[in-house]
Amino acid sequence: MAPEPSVLVALASPRRREILRLVWREERTAGAIHRAMPDVTFGAVSLQLRTLEEAGLVESRGEKQFRFYRARREALGALGEMLERMWDDALWRLKLAAQLEETRRGPRPGPQRAQAQQKRPPRKK
């Protein structure tokens, strides 16, 4: 399966990836999705849902006055597995950070090797 460019565009936005993750394993209404993202308006969520649906990343069904959205995982193929790894990694990193925070009793400086800002020359040799 060759992805349409619109898929790549859709996945480039953190907001859209967040929405996609929310409907990855279970369908949710537009409202439930919005409630999970309190920092943005309902309208904005609706627009992003449209973008995701037009890219074929989610599909929806209407029931009563609700609209349920879910990810079209099967349409994503390997790209889907990649996203899952990405989300798992992020979780893992969060956990690790929490552990570090907890283990840190008293001010332990630790090795801080700051990456020096480099102004790269047109060539190295």
Partner DNA sequence: GGTGTAATTTAGAATAAACTAAATTAATAG
Partner DNA sequence: CTATTAATTTAGTTTATTCTAAATTACACC
Nearer to a second copy, 77 or 104 (CB): 77
Neighbours of 22 (CB within 10 A): 20
Which is nearest to 22 in space by CA: 9, 40, 4? Answer: 40
Q: Binding DNA by CB under 7 A: which of 50, 61, 93, 95?
A: 50
For a second copy, the binding residue among 38, 39, 74, 78 (CB under 8 A) is 78
The distance of closest approach from Cβ of residue 86 to a second copy in the complex, given in angstroms and rounded to an integer, is 4
DSSP 63-101: ETTEEEEEE-GGGTTHHHHHHHHHHHHHHHHHHHHHHHH
**Of the ranges 28-36, 79-87, 88-96, 103-111, which one interacts with DNA (CB under 7 A)?**
28-36
Q: Which does 79 bind (CB under 5 to 8 A by kind): a second copy, DNA, none?
A: a second copy
